[in-house]
Amino acid sequence: MSSGSEIQRHYDVLIVGAGHAGANAAIALRQGGFAGSVGLLGDEPEAPYERPPLSKDYLAGDKTFDRLLIRPLAFWADQQVDLLLGCRALSVDVLQHRVHAAEGSAIGYGKLIWASGGAPRSLVCEGHDLAGIHAIRTRSDVDRLLGELPGAQRVVVIGAGYIGLEAAAVLTKLGKHVTVLEMQDRVLARVTAEAMSRFYEAEHRAHGVDLRLDIGVDCLEGSAGKVTGVHLRDGSVLPADLVIVGIGVIPAVEPLLAAGAEGGNGVDVDAFCRTSLPDIYAVGDCAAHQSVFAGHARVRIESVQNAKDQAITAAKSIMGTDIPYQAVPWFWSNQYDLRLQTVGLLTGYDDVVVRGDPANRSFSLVYLRDSRVIALDCVNKVPDYVQGKALITSYVQFDRAALADDGRPLKSLLTA
Ligand SMILES: Cc1cc2nc3c(=O)[nH]c(=O)nc-3n(C[C@H](O)[C@H](O)[C@H](O)COP(=O)(O)OP(=O)(O)OC[C@H]3O[C@@H](n4cnc5c(N)ncnc54)[C@H](O)[C@@H]3O)c2cc1C
């Protein structure tokens, strides 16, 4: 490992961003027999680690950081992947094939894989920069939050997406008084149908979360530089010892866009994860690709599956095997004793079928477009999740009554 100031060399493949996608790109290169030099440059101080536990087991104290590492530290040296940590790429010189990093250093590349993920969207209202306001994106974010937790009883979570709700579930279990604020009229509005939102709303309320929908934040107030309350648009004020903001991610692609890459919400990539710039690939949360599972719309997917599979696609392309990226997307979220597993993308659905009874806390939602299955959300229902993928890739039209028949395994519908 070396610090930012020491870097001054050339790599056959330079990877910017040492997260899920970056790490898996390096792994895929070595697994594919790539013998050239590989540098993995990241602005965090840690070796690549898994982010999902940050809002789950790591926040709960059930997993130590060592168990989050994507590979043990020795792996990177064994595989001759140079970890260049604590170092931020600032700009890309496309003609010279160089990345300029902090402290005036330049690193040459043959191929560049941009795997920079994104930064949590911040509040812009008055008081947004008070102490005691936290995002959950990196290990250091969560360590800071954990450091303040013993002195905090009233926690306000702004944003009822996956991360906000997962944090609310953990903190409620830890005995905190948790209020969740959501601007939309339902939780998880961007990622699921109304029936699932209502199910999760009821679960959080049953666990003691004060969940408020349709409510905007006006500003935050503090004392001695530390947050003490959240002013709501309805004029009320919520006392707060600690605030967690989970309102989305902004892809970290400015250097690539400044270098001329096409994009906007992320960097646009083709089916092989190539950007519009020569010898530059982009993978993971920062890359926007046209997905067959979204009716060929351009999507930017934030998931471990997407990060890993795009990394493999880019690595293979660099090694001379162009295989279009067409993996079926999948996601998961753990809240309380509920495991939500999603397969497919629900973009453009025109019908939703419920399988099973939400009251039993084990059920699925099947999303249809023109009677074809495009996605499933499965709560504590692993067989539906596992079998549902084949329904999606069959592109067959299904009878909704058969899909709704919970006594019938989904796989049997393919042979009917
Ligand atoms: C709290 C949390 C919970 C999650 N839970 C789930 C889950 O349950 N299931 C799921 O599928 N997904 C989950 N995700 C999403 C998943 O972790 C991401 O989709 C995945 O990490 C994306 O990988 P990535 O490599 O594209 O980005 P990241 O993992 O974010 O890695 C990008 C790295 O690049 C660094 N970087 C950025 N810019 C630069 C630069 N200019 N120079 C150098 N380094 C740079 C960043 O600091 C970061 O270390 C969760 C994410 C979070 C934050």
pLDDT in tens, 35-76: 999 999 999 999 999 999 999 999 999 999 999 999 999 999
Would the pLDDT of 229 be above 80? yes
**Which residue did the predictor score with more confidence, 222 or 1?**
222
Q: How far apart are CA 401 and CA 206, in angstroms?
A: 31
Query: Could you write out the DSSP letters of every residue in 187-207?
Result: TTTTTS-HHHHHHHHHHHHHT
Beta carbon of 303 within 6 Å of any ligand 1 atom: yes
Ligand 1 mean position, distance from CA 51 (Å): 6
Taking the CA of residue 90 as reference, the ligand 1 atom at the shortest distance is: 41
- Cα of 342 to ligand 1 centre, how many Å? 19
The model's pLDDT over 131-167, given as tens digits with 9 standing for 90+, comes to 999 999 999 999 999 999 999 999 999 999 999 999 9
Q: How confident is the model at residue 8 (pLDDT cuts 50, 70, 90)?
A: confident
Tell me, what amino acid is at 359?
Answer: A
**What's the 153 CA to ligand 1 centre distance in angstroms?**
29
pLDDT in the model for residue 6: 44
pTM, full prediction: 0.96
Query: Which H or E run includes 401?
Result: helix 400-404
Strand partners, 114: 16, 282
282 and 313 Cβ atoms separated by less than 8 Å: no
In tens, the pLDDT along 352-375 reads: 999 999 999 999 999 999 999 999
User: Is any ligand 1 atom within 6 A of the Cβ of residue 100?
Assistant: no
Helix then strand then coil, % of the chain, to nearest 5: 30, 30, 40
Q: Is 39 in the pocket of ligand 1 (CB under 6 A)?
A: no
Mean pLDDT of the chain: 96
CB 56 near ligand 1, within 6 Å: no
Q: Does any ligand 1 atom lie closer than 6 A to the CB of residue 112? A: no
- What is the tens place of the pLDDT at every residue in 295-352? 999 999 999 999 999 999 999 999 999 999 999 999 999 999 999 999 999 999 999 9
